[in-house]
Each structure stands twice: as C-alpha cells, then as structure tokens.
Amino acid sequence: MDMKLSQLAVGEKGIVKEFTDLEMSVKLMEMGCLPGEEIRVDRIAPMGDPIAINVSGYQLSLRKREASTIILQ
Amino acid sequence: MKADIRVALVGNPNTGKSTLFNVLTGLNQKIGNFPGVTVDKKIGYCQLPDGRRAEIIDLPGTYSLYPKSQDESIVFSVLADESNSSRPDLVVVILDASNLKRNLLLYTQVADLKIPVIIALNMMDLANKAGTEIDVDLIAKKLGVAVIPIAARKLVGIDSLKLAIAYANKVAFQEPSIDVEAIAPELIESISRELQIDNPYFALQLAHQHETIKFLSPQQSDRIEELEKEHSFHSQKAQGTETIARYAFINELLYDTVKQPATAQDETHSNKIDKVLTHKIFGFILFFAILLFMFQAISSWSAYPMELISDAFVWVQDTLHHVLPNGPLTSLLVDGVIAGLSGVMVFIPQIAILFAFISILEDTGYMARVTFMMDKLMRKVGLNGKSVVPLIGGFACAVPSIMSTRTIENWKDRIITIMVTPLVTCSARLPVYTLLIALVVPNRNVWWLFNLQGLALTAMYVFSLISAVVVAWVFKIILKGRERGYFIMELPVYRMPRWNNVLYSMYERAKTFVFQAGKVIIAVSVILWVLASYGPGKRYEQIDQNYKRPQYTKPLSPQDINLAISSEKLENSYAGVLGHVIEPAIRPLGFDWKIGIALITSFAAREVFVGTMATIYSANGSTEEMQSVQEKMHNAKNTQTGQPVFTLAVAFSLMMFYAFAMQCASTVAVVYRETKDWRWPAIQFAYMAVLAYAASFITYHLLR
C-alpha cells in the first residue's frame, strides 16, 4: 500500500515515488523533492501543522495538505 | 557613479548573498528601483584589482528562474531582457557548498541563458567542517566556468573572487547543462524564429513567463500564446520535465566531484536547538518573551534619541525664527516644512531598533521557526505564518512592517496582511492614549497589583490585536484568492547574526523610510500649515489688531496674549472652520469642533493630536508641557452645559477612533507603493473610517 508523506511520524523515512498534484509537484521538485529522493520527517509544528522534513541535506517545511500530495514508495 | 563593468549577484536565499554583497561593496551602496516594479534594487560599487570599477547588483534570492513572488520575478527580467538598463555583463552565482545539489539548479538555469557567469562557492568552511570533500577544479572543468571557493563571513577568498570578476570572459563559455530543445522542440523553434531569439532557453522561458514579463509587447505575448496552443504546450508539465532533467545533470556532476562523509550524521546542532525553540510549550513562551523584550527595547531605547532629535528640531525652529525675518515664508518653512520633517525624523530610532531586531531574528533563522509555529493559527483567520513578522512590527510602526510583507508569496495573504497591519497599536498612538487615559482613568491600583491606567493601556493593545484578527477573517471571506496558498519554505540552519548586516539593515530601512514617507509628510504638513495659518474673511486678519487694544494688554502678560491670539486664530482659520463644518458629523461621537480640528490634523499622523490639542487649549506644544495640556483639557468645560468636555465616554470614544481610523499619511503612501494600485489604500482608508465611526459611536453611547 502506498503511503503519503503526511502519514509519516516524526523520525520516519520514505522515498518519493510520485506526486498527485502537478502544480505542487513543480514547486516541490525545484526544492529538491524529486522521485527517488529520501525524505525524513524531522518535526511537526506545535499545533500539528506544518511539518519539517529533511531532504537532500537540508530542512524544508511544508503544510500537511502539501505533504499529502507526495506519494512514497 | 560610473562603472566599467556591471555584475549581478544571483543565488538561493540563505546562501550568504547579502553578506557577500556587503563584503564586496562596503558602505558604498544604495537602494534604487527597478523600472516599473516596486522591488528594491540594491546597488554597490567595488574596486577591482585591475583598477576598474564594478557596479554590483544584488538580485533577490530565488530557488529558480520560475518566480514565486514579486521580488523573484525581477531576476529573470534583469538577466534576460537585453534592453533592461540593469542587464549585467557578468553574473556571479553564489552556491552554498554545504547544500550544493539544490543550489546548482539555479546555476544551470542561469548558465543556459548564455550570459557570462562565474561561480562563488560560499560556505566552504562549513562544508569542510562537515567532512564534505569537493573537487572544485573538476567542477570548474566539467561546467566550463571559473569556480571560486569562498567563505564570505570569514572574508576568505574575496580577493580571488574580485580577480575572477576582473578577468572574466566577455562571452559565455560555459558548457550547456541539459538539452533544452528536447523539452518543447517545435515551440522553441517557432518562438526563436518569430521573435528572433538565438537562445533556446530564453525562448522556453518566454513561453512560460510571457504573461507576466514586462518587456514583451502585448502582440508578442499574444503570439506566443497562439504558438503554445498550436504546439499544445503545457507550462507546468514542461517545468517538471525540465527540473527532473536538470537534477539528473546535477547528480551526474556531483557523482565524482563531491564526497559526503560515509558515517551517519550526528543529530545536527540546529535540530537540538529546534527541539527547544519549537517546543509545544517552551516555544510559545520563548516567543512571547522575545516579543515583550522587543517592545520594551523599542520604547525604552528609543526614548533618549527621540528626545534628542525633537530637541534638535525645536532648537533649529527657534534659531530660524530668530534669524529669519518674520513673515509667511519663514512661517511656512519653520512651522510647515521643518515641523513636518521633525514628525518623520523622531521615528528614526524606533524604526532602526525594530529593524535591528527583525534582522537579527531573520539572520539567526529564528523567524523561519516562528513562521513554522504560527502558520496553522494564522491560516485560520486568512493570514499566513509569514504574516506574524509584519503584525509584530506593527506595534512599532505600520510603515516598515508593510514593507516587510514582501516575503509573503501568496497575493491574497499578503494583501490581507497589509490591510490589517495598520490596526495594530503603533507607537504613534501611544502619546494619544497616554494623554486620554491620564485624563479620565484614575491612577490607582486594583487587586493590589494592577495599575488601572496601565490596565486600560494594555486593553487597548490587546483590543487592537483582536480587531486585526477579526478584520483579517472578514477579508478572507470577501477576497477571492488568485493564486493557491502554499507554504513550502526552507528552514535554514541556525547561525550567529552578522552584525554588519544588522547595521546595514537599520541604516537602509531608516533611509528608505525618511525618503519615502518624508515626501508625503512634508506635503501634508504644508497643507495643514496653510489651513491652520490662514482664515477666510476679514475677521481672521483683525485678530492681531484686536489684541493690541488696552483692555487686553493691561491685565494680560505678553505671553498670555500670544496664547490667546493663537487660540483665536486657530478657531477662525480654515482648519477651525473645517472643524465647525464637521462638528455635526462627529457630535454623535461626543466630539466638539476643537476635537474635530485635532481629528483633521491627525490625518497627517496620529501623534499630531497632542500638538493640536496643545495649540487649541493654548498651551505650549512641546511634550514637556504635556501636564499642562492635560490640565487644560481637564478643565475644559462645555460652554452650553458647563459640564467637562472630556468625560470618560468622550475620552474612550476618541481612543476608539484613533484605534481604527487610518490617520497616517505615510501608511497610505506605503500601501500604495507596495500594492501599486490606488484602490487598496482607498479600501483600507474607507473600511477603517467606517469601523472608527461605528466603534466611537457605540463606545460613546454605552459609556455616556
């Protein structure tokens, strides 16, 4: 069963498989979230949203809704 | 200033671009405007080793040439448009050596535009420390460009970079990165042919950005649109294809040039700090503690320099009054222009301190964490995590805060933030509130601990935040978003603030404020001066004569006569007449014509209220005499009923009016400057006026 990035808990990792939203995917890929890249969830904001992830060596924050467009392998 | 070569700095945010800019140019820099847009253009000059002068342009930080905000869109226009007056001869792309992969994306895009380019590989010290091995020469060879390793903060490699700039090629020699034509072969071919473009990537960028680019004619843009339909071009799909191809190129490049340490990374320094700073409880406590400290600092540290500035202006005004001959021209200069200028200048310390704090918070990376923590809360009311910064700044002054909304990419979020920021209790309201509260609220403690006057003031602050949030929520419902909001944001690693940058930022913001707001304030104060110094008909002219009669000169001292004259002159001046004209409109709020005059003059700036009250109640205008203004206002009686004018109801009704009304010409000007559309300041002025009237009306009738 495919997982979405938004379903990962803090500390869990996953590899990007594909995106469900074209517009969002363009922006995410520019920031280095490409298919094949490993992503680790570093932190979740105090109110449960947004989340902070580690991708290609740096930290990126994005909202849960945006994270749910990333499908993991 | 003339320069021999023009160099543009391009790079991702947080790569040390501004540090490098400051290092290269020193204090030798200025802020201008790019033609047709509001984006600030930072220019500096740098002496090259071969004796030539280079003009350095600091372009806004961006992750790619596809813009996500107003500021970012300027980068492509400057680089690609041959007729752009800022087009550089050479581009220096700054890459963060500790995060090469993502940084290289922008480089490959710039390189493909075929502009002469060199790479400044910044933060080499950090990369080395992390154990990353970078084969700089091999990267240079593979890309066909000069790569200069530097550490801008430690001033390492700066001379080599200057040398490389001096000896850079005039022609672009870099290797192409990806096969651009493969992305949309026919379309690129047609655009290149019809618009006579010899660079395929420039043609492709035009296809993507033709709707927003300023340098294309409408006919050209329409033609590109037709061609796109003809070749069924899908902008986002093409962008995706391009990005994937570029990262494939980058991965291949990095494969044999960069070696990451094999050992598993320890938990990073930043991560440990984040555990505390973004903690569910400590995170918020710390945030509010920092805010509290900031307000305290802004009001207490600025008190002394503000006093100095206003004293200096009083001295200049006094001196000029003595030196220059008496007459309307002197009066216009001294009481109009210089008085207006002093109104602007006294805010310099507050603005400088506010921006020092904001730049420290941004520089260290903490602001990104605040944004991260607050986003969900702010989003509920139609704002954005990034709105927190301007809203906080609004406590000091709405003008620089509105300028700082540029970091908000989303149009709707940004407009709403701009619309509600002036509601936050700014420092100019403070003297008004202090005066009115002292007048009607007893100075005693309740529950042993809390001072009643202090509580009233705190209530006004809290009330302003609540109203900003409610109004934002209403705008969220009314406004239709043109773009989708998103929040993909880099969380930079924590760093020590760069004190030089903090100083530059204080200096720049203060300068921008003085020049931008200064123009408007001077204009308005001249108009107000005219309104307050001239009156219709003969009556006004006769006032001086009247007071020369013995029935006045005998019992009154010359000082008292002067006060009486100025008070009567004001009542009969155009401003006074206006006060009488609007009296029926403001009577339901509990205000008389005298308060009406103060309301009118306050539209230049709120703090003018105290000065106007001082003049009207014929006290001296300086703040040292505030006590006496207060006494006069306290003793003021309604001529018909004999009751005091400033009752609890009137004072609070006035405070409500000042809480909501847009009585600040500088804010109106800056909102126009930032939105480039007169409708936004007009809407803002109107909604705030309606709220002010309603709130005053309700307050007055509840408390009466």
What does the alpha-carbon distance between residue B59 and residue B43 come to, in Å, rounded to a whole number? 9
**Distance spanning both ends of chain B, measured CA to CA:** 64
Q: Are A65 and A15 in contact (CB under 8 A)?
A: no
Assign B38 a pLDDT band (cuts: 50, 70, 90): low
Res. A1 pLDDT band, cuts 50 70 90? low
Determine the pLDDT at residue A62. 92
Which residue in B63, B99, B376 has the most chain A C-beta atoms within 10 A of its own C-beta, making it the best mutation to test that interface?
B376
Instruction: Summarize the confidence of residues B12-25 as an average pLDDT.
Output: 90
Cβ contact (<8 Å) for B490 and A43? Answer: no
Distance from CA of B59 to the nearest CA of A (A): 19
Distance in angstroms (rounded) separating the CA atoms of residues B144 and B139: 8
Helix residue ranges per DSSP H, chain A: 22-30, 64-67
More confident residue, B171 or B64: B64
Rounded (to 5) percent helix, strand, coil in chain A: 20, 40, 40
B493 contacts in chain A (CB < 8 Å): 58-59
How far is residue B642's CA from residue B626's CA, in Å, rounded to a whole number? 24
Mutate which of A5, A53, A61 to test chain B, going by most B C-beta atoms within 10 A? A61
Task: Give dist(CA B681, CA B687) in Å, integer.
Answer: 10
Contact present, B82 and B93 (Cβ < 8 Å): no
Cβ of B278 within 8 Å of Cβ of A42? The answer is no
Contact B240 A31 (CB under 8 A): no
Q: Which residue has the higher pLDDT, B291 or B61?
A: B61
Q: Is B694 on the interface with A (CB under 8 A)?
A: no
Residue pLDDT, tens place only, B544-555: 777 777 777 667
Cα(A12)–Cα(A39) distance, rounded to whole angstroms?
8
Taking CA atoms, B192 is separated from B73, B87, B197, B198, B236, in Å, by: 22, 21, 4, 6, 21
A36 interfaces chain B, CB cutoff of 8 Å: no
Report the pLDDT value the prediction gives residue B666, as an integer from 0 to 100.
Answer: 80
Domain ranges across chain B: 5-166
| Tokens 């001294």 sit on residue | B334
Distance CA B76, CA B78 (A): 6
Does A57 contact chain B (CB < 8 Å)? yes
Residue B482 touches chain A, beta carbons under 8 Å: no
Q: Do A62 and B489 touch (CB under 8 A)?
A: yes
Q: What is the pLDDT of residue B504?
A: 82
Is B64 part of the contact surface with chain A (CB cutoff 8 Å)? yes
Contact B49, B159 (CB under 8 A): yes
Q: Are B1 and B84 in contact (CB under 8 A)?
A: no
Q: What pLDDT does residue B530 have?
A: 82
Q: What is the pLDDT of residue B488?
A: 86
- Do A27 and B237 lie within an 8 Å CB cutoff? no
Among the partner residues B244, B274, B486, nearest to A66 by beta-carbon distance: B486
Residues B358, B508: Cα–Cα separation, whole Å: 13
Count of CB atoms situated within 10 Å of the CB of B700: 22
The pLDDT score that the predictor gives to residue B625 is 45
A38, A14 in Cβ contact below 8 A? yes
Q: Which of B366, B491, B493, B495 to mutate to test the interface with A (most CBs of A within 10 A)?
A: B491
pLDDT for the residue numbered B622: 41
Please list every residue in chain A whose beta carbon sits closer than 8 Å to the beta carbon of residue B126: none
All residues of chain A having their beta carbon less than 8 Å from the beta carbon of residue B240 are 22, 25-26, 29
Cβ(B227)–Cβ(B190) under 8 Å?
Answer: yes
Of B422, B400, B315, B279, residue with least CA distance to B351: B400
Token representation of residue B302: 């600025």
pLDDT in tens, B517-558: 677 667 767 777 788 778 887 777 777 777 777 777 667 677
* Cβ pair A31:B376 closer than 8 A: no
Type of residue found at B215: F
B124 and B151 in contact (C-beta within 8 Å)? yes
- Partners of residue A46 in chain B, C-beta under 8 Å: 278-280, 283-284, 373
pLDDT at B151 over 90: yes
State residue B605 phi and psi, 5-degree precision. -165, 140
Amino acid at A40: R
Say yes or no: B375 contacts chain A, CB-CB below 8 A. yes
Which residue is associated with the tokens 């509601």?
B423
Shortest distance, CA B166 to any CA of chain A (angstroms):
32
Helices B648-660, B429-440: crossing angle, 10 deg rounding:
170
Task: Please determine, for residue B111, whether its predicted confidence score (pLDDT) is greater than 90.
Answer: yes
Q: How far is A62 from chain B (nearest CA, A)?
A: 5
Angle at A36 between CA A31 and CA A38, to 5 degrees: 70
Phi and psi at residue B53, to the nearest 5°:
-105, 135
Task: Name which of B99, B102, B376 is nearest A45 (Cβ-Cβ).
Answer: B376
Please name every residue paired with B149 in a beta bridge, in sequence order, or none if there are none: B121
| pLDDT, tens only, B652-677 | 999 999 999 998 888 888 898 888 88
> What pLDDT shows up at residue B461?
85
Cβ burial, residue B217 (10 Å; 0-12/13-18/19+):
exposed
Q: How confident is the model at residue B621 (pLDDT cuts 50, 70, 90)?
A: very low
Half-sphere exposure of B191 (CA within 13 A, CB side): 32
Q: Which of B487, B493, B494 to mutate to test binding with chain A, by most A CBs within 10 Å of its CB? A: B487
User: How many domains does chain A contain in total?
Assistant: 1
Query: What's chain B's average pLDDT?
Result: 84
Q: What is the pLDDT of residue B483?
A: 59
Contact state of A52 with B377 under an 8 Å Cβ cutoff: no
Judged by CB atoms closer than 8 Å, whether chains meet at A32 and B102 is answered as yes
Residue-level pLDDT at B623: 41
What would the two tokens of residue B384 be? 């954005």
Q: Which of B63, B237, B270 is the closest to A31 by Cβ? A: B63
Q: What is the per-residue pLDDT for B516?
A: 65
Residue numbers in B near A50 (CB within 8 A)? 372, 375-376, 385, 487
Cross-chain Cβ contact B105/A30 below 8 Å: yes
pLDDT at B8: 94
Q: How far is CA B239 from CA B66, B104, B258, B482, in A?
A: 9, 16, 27, 21
Please give the share of chain B, as a percent, with pLDDT higher than 70: 92
> Is the pLDDT higher at B1 or at B180?
B180
How many pairs of residues across A and B have Cβ atoms under 8 Å apart? 104
**Exposed, middle or buried: residue B231 (CB in 10 Å: 0-12, 13-18, 19+)?**
middle
The CA distance from B335 to B612, in Å, is 13
Residue B407 clears pLDDT 60, i.e. is over it: yes
The interface predicted TM-score of the complex, written ipTM, equals 0.94
- Using an 8 Å CB-CB cutoff, list chain A residues near B488: 27-28, 31, 60-62, 66
Amino acid at B645: V
Percent of chain B scoring above 90 in pLDDT: 30
More confident residue, B55 or B86: B55
Going by the DSSP 8-state scheme, the letter that residue B311 receives in this structure is H
**Integer distance in angstroms from the first to the last C-alpha of chain A?**
9
Gyration radius of chain B's alpha carbons: 30
SS3 call for B664: strand
Put simply, whether B673 touches A (Cβ < 8 Å) is: no
Token digits of residue B446: 């309740």
Chain A positions touching B247 (Cβ under 8 A) are 29, 32, 34
Q: What is the pLDDT of residues B450-484, one digit of tens each?
A: 778 888 888 888 899 899 999 999 998 888 765 56
Residues B478-485: contacts with CB under 8 Å, at least 24 apart: B479/B382, B479/B412, B479/B415, B479/B416, B480/B412, B481/B410, B481/B411, B481/B412, B482/B411, B482/B412, B483/B410, B483/B411, B483/B412, B484/A23, B484/B410, B485/B379, B485/B384, B485/B410, B485/B412, B485/B413
Q: Which residues of B286-302 are buried (b: 16+ CB within 10 A; e: fewer)?
A: bbeeeeeebbeebbeeb
Q: Quick one: pLDDT at residue B617?
A: 67
Q: What pLDDT score does B274 carry? A: 87
The per-residue pLDDT for B574 is 86
Among A49, A51, A58, A64, most B C-beta atoms within 10 A, so best to mutate, is A58
CATH code for the domain of A33: 2.30.30.90
The boundaries of the domain holding residue A68 are: 3-72
Helix-helix angle B574-586:B558-572, to 10 degrees:
60
Say how far apart CA B689 and CA B349 lie, in whole Å. Answer: 29
The arithmetic mean of pLDDT across residues B283-309, rounded, is 81
Task: Provide mean pLDDT across the span A11-20.
Answer: 92
Q: Spell out the SS3 assignment of B382-425.
A: CCCHHHHHHHHHCCCCHHHHHHHHHHCCCHHHHHHHHHHHHHCC
The pLDDT score that the predictor gives to residue B620 is 41
User: Candidates 3.90.550.10, 3.30.420.40, 3.40.50.300, 3.30.70.60; correct CATH number of B5-166?
Assistant: 3.40.50.300
What is the least distance, in Å, from the CA of B247 to any CA of chain A?
A: 8
The most distant pair of C-alpha atoms in chain B lies apart, rounded to whole Å, by 101
Higher pLDDT, B612 or B166: B166
Strands B90-96 and B117-122: parallel
The neighbour count for residue B76, using CB atoms within 10 Å, is 25
